[in-house]
Amino acid sequence: MTQFFNAAEGGHISREDWVRVAHKHGVACFNDAAADVPPIANLWNYTAMGFDLVAFSGGKGIRGPQCTGLLLGKKDLIDGAVLNNSPYSNTVGRGMKVGKEEIIGFVAAVDWFREQDDAAMEAEFRKRAGVIAERVKTVPSVQARVFIPPVANHVPHLLITYDTNRVKLTATEVMQKMREGTPRIELNPSTGGGPASAGLPGGNNVIVVGVWMLQPGEDQIVATRLQEVLAGAAK
């Protein structure tokens, strides 16, 4: 079986060519689309394209139990995967088995996800990003904008940049201070580093805030704490 990493950047082989060449030689195609919803339609776009198996994370965009996942595609291949799950416990997949409670939780998450609307979700995420942006832009030299990665985690993220001569903290130091505060707040791991596989820009003065996992009202908490950290180091 071939494996196609759906979020690969700079790839020279299209999804369509990958499927065509593999099938020409009688080889099945697997698409690793773990982080690639929303849009919701991706749940069926890649199988419709001809991929024999497509996998999505149960966490990430679907927001179900993090240890679950969704495997879609040809029945004979899925039947083979089932042989590595309960009740066939003495198999290579024993260490990766998923509990019954987690499966039920994931089914509920899929039902919830399919009832959502892409445009409404994006509008809500942009609203949260705007709340945080307006607060942090009161700090000298701080700028903020929304960035949407092209494939994986294809939702609005807030990118915050600043002049390190005006704000005497690196983005990595900001991340650590956010962790040490009350409540503890975790920024996107691209903060202060190189560009992530999701296409998020990186740099020692780049803070990335993932707003799509926040609960109602938490954007205000993040905004307040982030503004405090940046303002406390501003000249």
Once rounded to an integer, what is the mean pLDDT over residues 180-194? 89
- What does pTM read for this prediction? 0.82
Number of independent structural domains in the chain: 2
Q: Choose one of 63, 97, 114: the last residue of a domain.
A: 114
Query: What's 82's domain CATH number?
Result: 3.40.640.10
Q: How many CB atoms lie within 10 A of CB 232?
A: 12
Q: Please check the confidence at residue 97 and state whether its pLDDT lies above 80.
A: no
Query: Distance between CA atoms of 189 and 54, rounded to whole angstroms?
Result: 26
Same domain? For 151 and 206 the reply is yes
Same domain? For 32 and 61 the reply is yes
Same domain? For 97 and 156 the reply is no
Position 125 scores a pLDDT of 96
Q: Please check the confidence at residue 9 and state whether its pLDDT lies above 80.
A: no
Q: Choose one of 65, 90, 114: the last residue of a domain.
A: 114
Same domain? For 122 and 96 the reply is no
Q: Choose one of 80, 114, 148: the last residue of a domain.
A: 114
What are the phi and psi torsion angles at 98 (to 5°)? -115, 135
Contact indicator for 65, 46 with CB cutoff of 8 Å: no
* 3-class secondary structure, 152: coil
Query: Distance between CA atoms of 157 and 96, rounded to whole angstroms?
Result: 31
Position 83 scores a pLDDT of 83
Q: Which two tokens stand for residue 82?
A: 């089932």
Position 88 scores a pLDDT of 75
pLDDT band of 145, cuts 50, 70, 90: very high
Same domain? For 33 and 124 the reply is no
Query: What's 176's domain CATH number?
Result: 3.90.1150.110
Lowest mean pLDDT among 81-90, 114-123, 199-208: 81-90
Same domain? For 123 and 228 the reply is yes
Same domain? For 90 and 109 the reply is yes
Same domain? For 97 and 144 the reply is no
Contact indicator for 188, 160 with CB cutoff of 8 Å: no
As a whole number, the mean pLDDT across the chain is: 90
- Give pLDDT tens digits for 212-235: 999 999 999 999 999 999 999 987
Once rounded to an integer, what is the mean pLDDT over residues 137-144? 94
Same domain? For 123 and 89 the reply is no
Query: Distance between CA atoms of 100 and 46, rounded to whole angstroms?
Result: 27
Long-range pairs, 89-98, Cβ under 8 A, ≥24: 98/65, 98/67, 98/68, 98/69
Range(s) of the domain holding residue 10: 2-114
Same domain? For 124 and 227 the reply is yes
Same domain? For 89 and 164 the reply is no
- Give pLDDT tens digits for 12-26: 889 999 999 999 999
Same domain? For 189 and 91 the reply is no
Q: Please check the confidence at residue 85 and state whether its pLDDT lies above 60.
A: yes
